[in-house]
Chains A and B, each alone.
Chain A
Amino acid sequence: MDVYVSGVGMTPFGKHENKSLKDLLVEAARAALHDADYPRIDAVIVGNFMGGAIYNQEILGAIVVNDLNLGSIPALKVEGACASGGIAIRQAILGILSGEYENVLVVGGEKMKHASTETVTQAINAAMDNQSLEKNSGLTFPAFFGLLANRYFFESGATKKHLAYVAKQNRDYAVNNPLAQFRKPTTIEEVLEAKMITDPLGLFDCSPITDGAASVVISKQKTGIKLKASVQVSGPTSIQHLDSILKIPAIVESGRKAYTQAGIGPEDLDVVEVHDCFTITQLLAIEGLGFAKELEAWKFIEEGETGLSGKTPLNTSGGLLSRGHPIGATGIAQFIQIVLQLRGQAPNQVDNASLGMAQNLGGTGAYSVIHILERV
Chain B
Amino acid sequence: MKIYEQYGRPYLYDHTSHATYDEVTREIADTGTVYSLTKVFVPPTEFAHEAPYCIGIIQLDEANLKITARIKDGIEIGSRVKLDAVENGVYYFSELV
Residues of A within 8 A of B (CB): 117-119, 121-122, 125, 131-134, 136-140, 142-143, 146-151, 154, 195-200, 239-242, 245
Contacts and interface: CB of A to CB of B under 8 A. Distances in A.
Interface string B2-34: 000000010010001000000000000000000
A119 B48 CA distance: 10
Contact of B36 (A117, A125, A148): A148
Contacts of A199: 38-39, 41
B91 A137 contact: yes
B50 A150 contact: no
A138 B70 contact: yes
Nearest to B50: A138
B91 A133 contact: yes
Interface residues of B, number: 33
A370 B68 CA distance: 30
Interface of B: 9, 12, 16, 35-48, 50, 53, 55, 57, 65-70, 77-78, 88-91
B11 to A, nearest CB: 8
A202 to B, nearest CB: 10
Given A133-B69, A137-B69, A240-B67, A147 B37 contact: yes
A150 B44 contact: no
B9 A151 contact: no
A151 B77 CA distance: 8
B68 A118 contact: no
Q: Is the interface of A mostly helix, strand, loop or mixed?
A: helix
Given A139-B40, A241-B9, 18 more contacts: A118-B42, A122-B46, A125-B44, A132-B16, A133-B67, A133-B91, A136-B89, A137-B70, A138-B40, A138-B46, A146-B39, A148-B36, A151-B57, A197-B41, A240-B66, A240-B67, A241-B66, A245-B57
B43 A121 contact: yes
A142 B88 CA distance: 23
B77 A133 contact: no
A216 B16 CA distance: 41
Contacts of B68: 132-134, 137, 139, 239-240
B36 A136 contact: no
B20 to A, nearest CB: 16
Q: Taking each of A132, A134, A140, A143, which has the highest tally of chain B beta carbons within 10 Å of its own beta carbon?
A: A143
Contacts of A195: 41
Nearest to A133: B68
A143 to B, nearest CB: 5
Contacts of B45: 118-119, 121-122
Q: Which of A118, A133, A200, A239 has the most CB of B within 10 A?
A: A133
Given A138-B70, A139-B68, A240-B67, A122 B44 contact: yes
A57 B47 CA distance: 26
Given A133-B16, A150-B36, A196-B41, A118 B67 contact: no
A154 B47 contact: no
Contacts of B40: 138-140, 142-143, 146, 198
Contacts of A133: 12, 16, 67-69, 89-91
Task: Give the one of B50, B53, B68 with max A CB within 10 A.
Answer: B68
10 contacts: A131-B16, A133-B12, A136-B88, A138-B55, A149-B38, A151-B77, A195-B41, A198-B39, A199-B41, A200-B38
A25 B8 CA distance: 47
Contacts of A119: 45
A151 B69 contact: no
A195 B55 CA distance: 19
A137 to B, nearest CB: 5
Nearest to A119: B45
For A119, A148, A150, A197, which residue has the most chain B Cβ atoms within 10 angstroms? Answer: A150
Contacts of A151: 35-36, 57, 77
* A-B residue pairs, 9 tightest by C-beta: A146-B38, A151-B36, A122-B44, A199-B39, A138-B47, A122-B45, A133-B68, A121-B44, A240-B66
A154 B36 CA distance: 9
Contacts of A245: 35-36, 57
Contacts of A140: 40, 42-44
